[in-house]
Amino acid sequence: MKKVLLFSLSASLLFMGCGSSKSVSATSTTQSNTTTNSSASKSTYWQQHVDYKMEIDMDVNNYQYQGKQTLVYTNNSPDVLNKVFYHLFFNAFQPGSQMDARLQSIADPDGRMVTEVNGKKQSRISTLKPNEIGYINVTSLKQNGGIVKHTTAGTVLEVTLNKAIQPGESVTFDMVFDAQVPVQIRRSGRNNAEGVALSMTQWYPKLSEYDFEGWHAYPYIGREFHGVWGDFDLKLTIDKDYVVGGTGYLQPNPVVNGNKKTLHFKAPNVHDFTWAADPDYIHDTMQVPNGPMLNFYYKKDLPAENLEGWKKLQPKTVEMMQYFSENIGKYPYEQYSVIQGGDGGMEYAMSTLITGKRKFGSLMGVTAHELAHTWFQFLLATNEAKHEWMDEGFTSYISDQAMDVIANKNADNPSAGAYRGYDYLAKSGKEKPQSTHADRYETNMAYGIAAYNKGEVFLSQLGYVIGEDNLKKTLKQYFIDWSFKHPTPNDFIRVAEKVSGLELEWYLTDWTMTTNTIDYGVKSINGNMVTLERIGEMPMPIDLEVTYTDGSTESLYIPLQMMRGEKPTTATTIADWAWAHPTYTFEAKKAVKSVEIDAKNLMADINKENNKK
């Protein structure tokens, strides 16, 4: 999802990234935990498949549309399915919905979703009139031609099947529905703040994902993405003056009939489909050499400086596409669209919707972030409700890396802002483990920092733990092994383990499933003897800079014993630190004047004061 300005401290969220990496060849075959190769470890992996065909007739005057949808659903699971579920996201935009209730009860609601009435904050959803709400009303549903029973429970359609779907079986669902586009409250909707007519996200009945953890028929409260991979085929009938952009490839020769046209889009191997439309879009294109065509849709009535920004953005987006393709994996589709729309910036398949009245730096930074989500959500499709840090954090990390190069920032550590955000959260008393369901944080602040900042630090700090080159290789191998799938946190850390030859389960567990903190300190220096102490519960290996009394310096590396190995380093490696010991003493080769733990600030130590003596 979009990058948020959570509070002033994380203005740095706009541009973050992390330490740079050099390349060195892999040396990962010596360790004991490299016994399984990736194809063997994936042999039990399966995922469902669905192909969508939709015919939509949009009335741009009353914002209502009629839909016919045919799904061919293939059950690749080993289980017999008696039910299926669909998401009806637009039903969230109705007074009394769960999204409305959440807005009214959370301490720090999203400012875009509330309005002040008589000095009191009120949920904007609660104020919607019948012709302003969103809805998807399913009027008919058939399974292989036979009518099936279905119940709408808020944003979820519960379907009891006539005949169970056997493992390996494909069935066809035919649905008829009518729907209304809500006044824009969050992301989707009509007439956004900048006057874009239609931001069509989460707009169609979407089959819920069934995976190794069962059904994920999440109500729509905040997070959207965990979808079934498949091919989409959309025939969209709309007023002929409207310019439409979004997911997929527009087929040639639209059919014009009176004052309407029918556009035909095809999108192979995606898990979501989005579009936006406006009669006043300018449509520019730019080809990425050996890559996709880039499309830019923005309104001609933007102020001159913004129009100029949207032009300047285009060659920069080419650079971004090249950066991510080189550093993660090649962009696999034929097009990508940057579209003015929505209410901030939000990622979708082959596209982003982003508000257009931005200073150039913001336009570029948010585009980089949303484009990076193509990899960390739309190719490496993690469950956004459960592992929000894997898409927001990884995206923030790589887009900050990219912007450091493309916008010539050349920061010491492009992720420094993320470390500051995490530090604030860790000391706020409001932190929850990153394994918390995204809808279940008590505050948006705690969600946002855990997902974006702590998620970014997870990767940046992993570079400290396993070495920057191993981190770079890990990202590329992760893409090779898991693109077009649904990787889990464990899948990611196993890739890092295989690349580095190091045991890393401790890192995943402590960082993502607990709120344990890192605090190492220098306890004493007596002549040649140095004693360090571990105050926090979270283990870490230690990089130590030593200055001797004769003025010379040396870099030392203290491996963490539970990693069962060492990162590649030019530092002098000394004895392991076995975690349970609260102190660690070593004898240096000469008299020591001073030492500093983690001089490069790559470890998220919550008390830096004691790192130096």
Residues near Zn ion, by CB under 5 A: 1, 392, 395
Going by C-alpha positions, the residue among 332, 376, 323, 326 that lies closest to residue 489 is: 376
Nearer to Zn ion by C-beta: 1 or 425?
Answer: 1
- Least CB distance from residue 338 to Zn ion, whole Å? 15
* Least distance CB 250 / Zn ion (angstroms): 26
Burial string for 585-597 (b: 16+ CB within 10 Å, else e) reads ebebeeebeebbb
CB within 8 Å of 326: residues ≥ 6 apart? none
Taking the least distance from each CB to Zn ion, the nearer of 132 and 456 is 456
For Zn ion, the closer of residues 1 and 148 by Cβ is: 1
CB of 446 to Zn ion, least distance (A): 17
Report the nearest approach of Zn ion to the CB of residue 395 (Å).
Answer: 5
Distance (Å, whole) CA 101 – CA 85: 22
Please count the other Cβ atoms lying within 10 Å of the Cβ belonging to residue 253.
6
541: Cα within 13 Å, side-chain hemisphere: 31
Nearest approach in angstroms of CB 396 to Zn ion is 7
Structure tokens at 71: 């799904």
- 459 DSSP 8-state letter: H
Torsion angles phi and psi, residue 362, rounded to 5: -70, -40
- Which one, 224 or 392, has the nearer CB to Zn ion? 392
The full length of the chain comes to 613
CA nearest neighbour of 324 among 260, 390, 257, 405: 405
Q: Which is closer to Zn ion, CB of 133 or CB of 328?
A: 328
For residue 377, the minimal CB distance to Zn ion (Å) is 8
Beta carbon nearer to Zn ion, 16 or 493: 16
Q: Where are the beta strands (DSSP E) in 60-124?
A: 64-74, 81-87, 114-117, 120-123
The nearest distance, CB 6 to Zn ion, in angstroms, is 12
Neighbours of 431 (CB within 10 A): 21
Q: Which is nearer to Zn ion, 456 or 566 (CB)?
A: 456
For Zn ion, the closer of residues 14 and 542 by Cβ is: 14
Rounded to the nearest whole angstrom, what is the least distance from the CB of residue 3 to Zn ion in the complex?
5
Contacts of residue 42, defined as CB under 8 A and 6 or more positions apart, other chains included, come to: 481
Q: What are phi and psi of 251, to 5 degrees?
A: -80, 150
Q: At what angle do helices 468-482 and 304-327 cross, to 10 degrees?
A: 90
Buried b (16+ CB within 10 A) or exposed e, 486-495: bbbbebbbbb
**Closest CB to Zn ion among residues 1, 185:** 1
- Kindly state the smallest distance separating residue 107's Cβ from Zn ion, in Å: 22
Phi-psi category of residue 551: left, alpha or beta, with phi > 0 → left and psi -120 to 50 → alpha: left
Which residue matches tokens 């990611």?
Answer: 492
**Cα 189 to chain center, whole Å?**
22
Residue whose pair of structure tokens reads 């009535």 in the numeric block: 301
Q: Smaller CB distance to Zn ion: residue 143 or 395?
A: 395
Residues 6+ apart with CB under 8 A from 152: 88, 91, 137, 138, 158
Separation in Å, CA 609 to CA 416, 519, 522, 600 = 17, 10, 10, 14
Task: Determine which helix (DSSP H) or strand (DSSP E) holds 528, and give its type and residue range.
Answer: none
Q: Cβ of residue 397: shortest distance to Zn ion, in angstroms?
A: 11
Shortest spacing between CB 62 and Zn ion, in angstroms: 33
Residues 6+ apart with CB under 8 A from 156: 85, 86, 87, 88, 208, 217, 218, 219
Instruction: Name which of 209 and 391 has its Cβ closer to Zn ion.
Output: 391
Provide the minimum distance between the beta carbon of 292 and Zn ion in the complex, in angstroms, as a whole number: 20
Encoded tokens for 380: 């490496």
Min dist. Cβ of residue 89 to Zn ion (A)? 18
DSSP characters over 245-285: EESSEEPSSPEEETTEEEEEEEEEEES---EEEETTEEEEE
Q: Taking the complex as a whole, how short is the minimal distance between the CB of residue 374 and Zn ion, in angstroms?
A: 11
